[in-house]
């Protein structure tokens, strides 16, 4: 069974990658991820804003995991243990690349053009095999147009592209008015991979105390639908590799993403829930399923349900309200 997968210019042993999460804050856990079959590890993000100001973003991510899921607690480091300054981050990259054979992909969330390029360079020098640009940005100013916001993404990529030689992945959210166009522009601007999609922070309200509550939950399998659709639509229309992130809780979810056309499938929530052993389960179940169905390589599977391969691709984009309504009536 050939699971080898090309991803952003790297050759991976399989399509299963550990996405950015606090799991990568410990060298021991990175080793466990490799031992259980992760083909690459994306590090948690270095937040430029944090370096300049405070620990808010990491605090938010860590609180998110621990508050929502009891079992996740043991996999999350305490905030006070996490010094995410650039020195420690770069040191962790250095130690991780020395400790494991799988590629370590650094992740960066910058706030200034100079910062994006500067920290990316340091990550490359520290030995990262690739960089994921975590462009986590909510355009709140009503004066900014969509075109300006899109240009900002392209400018960030251009700055980092000019600064480093290692492959660059761009992790974006789905909130563009013409995502296919945006994806193609990022592709032409030199993205080696597109990571779909970033899950943006959506705070809740406590109506009794009138406070904003950081009550995000870990992903659920249904959440694969939006990235699944876009990966299927984009397969064959961009040169960049496609990485699926969100909602992978079983091999079935990973298989759907691969059939849509994902080069790699990433996991965070399920790893936080079940620990690094979840990767070996995914890998075994994926290989078992492929074997039963007669696939001998992951390449045969990849893209078999992309828009280009489907006999009736309109099924991907038609609303289908009537049929859905009928299925409620008949209970099917």
Site for ligand FMN in 202-241 (CB under 6 A): 218-219
User: Which secondary structure element, helix H or strand E, spans residue 243, and what is its range?
Assistant: strand 241-244
Name which of 73 and 315 has its Cβ closer to ligand FMN.
73
Find the angle CA(22)-CA(24)-CA(26) to the nearest 5 degrees. 100
Q: Least distance to ligand FMN from the beta carbon of 41, Å?
A: 11
Name which of 128 and 248 has its Cβ closer to ligand FMN.
248
Site for ligand FMN in 116-155 (CB under 6 A): 134
x/- contact string, 273-312, with ligand FMN (CB under 6 A)?
Answer: ----------------------------------------
What is the distance between the alpha carbons of residues 8 and 241, in angstroms, rounded to a whole number? 6
Site for ligand FMN in 240-279 (CB under 6 A): 245-248, 267-270, 272
Q: Least distance to ligand FMN from the beta carbon of 52, Å?
A: 17
Q: How far is CA 163 from the centre of its chain?
A: 23
What is the distance between the alpha carbons of residues 316 and 44, in angstroms, rounded to a whole number? 33
Task: Using alpha carbons, list the distances in angstroms from residue 265 to 10, 41, 66, 67, 210.
Answer: 15, 12, 24, 26, 39
CB atoms < 10 A from the CB of 155, how many? 13
Closest alpha carbon to 50 in 91, 94, 104, 86: 86
Is residue 25 part of the contact set for ligand FMN (CB under 6 A)?
A: no
What residues are paired with 124 via a beta bridge? none
Q: CB under 6 A: which stretch of 61-69, 155-163, 174-182, 324-332 binds ligand FMN?
A: 61-69
Q: Least distance to ligand FMN from the beta carbon of 166, Å?
A: 17
Q: Least distance to ligand FMN from the beta carbon of 323, Å?
A: 28
Binder of ligand FMN out of 5, 14, 21, 50 (CB under 6 A): 21
Q: Least distance to ligand FMN from the beta carbon of 43, Å?
A: 8
Site for ligand FMN in 153-182 (CB under 6 A): 171
Name which of 20 and 290 has its Cβ closer to ligand FMN.
20
What is the distance between the alpha carbons of residues 173 and 200, in angstroms, rounded to a whole number? 7
What is the distance between the alpha carbons of residues 6 and 8, in angstroms, rounded to a whole number? 7
Q: Are 195 and 171 in contact (CB under 8 A)?
A: yes
Name which of 118 and 171 has its Cβ closer to ligand FMN.
171
3-state secondary structure of 283: helix
What is the distance between the alpha carbons of residues 98 and 283, in angstroms, rounded to a whole number? 25
Find the angle CA(222)-CA(229)-CA(132) to the nearest 5 degrees. 90
Q: Least distance to ligand FMN from the beta carbon of 286, Å?
A: 15
Q: CB under 6 A: which stretch of 57-65, 204-212, 257-265, 292-300 binds ligand FMN?
A: 57-65
Is residue 29 part of the contact set for ligand FMN (CB under 6 A)?
A: no
Query: Which residues of the chain form contacts with ligand FMN (CB under 6 A)?
Result: 19-22, 44-45, 61, 64-65, 107, 134, 171, 199, 218-219, 245-248, 267-270, 272
């Amino acid at each position: 069974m050939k699971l080898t997968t090309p991803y952003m210019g790297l050759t991976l042993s399989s399509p299963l990658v550990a996405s950015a999460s606090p799991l990568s804050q410990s060298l021991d856990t990175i080793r466990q991820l490799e031992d259980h079959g992760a083909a690459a590890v994306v590090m948690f993000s270095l937040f430029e804003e944090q370096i300049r100001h405070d620990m808010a973003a990491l605090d938010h991510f860590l609180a998110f995991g621990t508050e929502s899921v009891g079992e996740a607690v043991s996999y999350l480091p305490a905030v006070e243990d996490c010094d995410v300054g650039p020195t420690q981050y770069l040191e962790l990259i250095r130690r991780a690349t020395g400790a494991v054979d799988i590629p370590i992909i650094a992740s960066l969330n910058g706030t200034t053009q100079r910062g994006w390029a500067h920290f990316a360079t340091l990550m490359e020098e520290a030995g990262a095999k690739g960089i994921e640009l975590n462009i986590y940005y909510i355009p709140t100013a009503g004066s900014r147009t969509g075109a300006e916001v899109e240009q900002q993404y392209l400018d960030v990529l251009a700055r980092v592209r000019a600064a480093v030689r290692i492959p660059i992945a761009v992790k974006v959210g789905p909130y563009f008015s013409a995502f296919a166009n945006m994806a193609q522009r990022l592709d032409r601007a030199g993205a080696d991979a597109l990571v779909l999609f970033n899950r943006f922070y959506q705070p809740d309200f406590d109506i009794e105390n009138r406070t904003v509550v950081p009550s995000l939950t870990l992903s659920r399998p249904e959440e694969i639908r939006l990235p699944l659709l876009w990966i299927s639509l984009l397969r064959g229309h961009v040169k960049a590799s496609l990485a699926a992130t969100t909602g992978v809780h079983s091999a079935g979810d990973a298989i759907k993403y691969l059939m849509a056309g994902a080069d790699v499938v990433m996991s965070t929530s399920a790893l936080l829930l079940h620990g690094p052993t979840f990767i070996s389960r995914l890998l075994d179940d994926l290989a078992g399923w492929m074997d039963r169905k007669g696939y001998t390589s992951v390449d045969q599977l990849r893209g078999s349900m992309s828009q280009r391969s489907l006999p009736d691709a309109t099924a991907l984009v038609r609303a289908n309200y009537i049929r859905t309504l009928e299925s409620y009536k008949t209970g099917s």
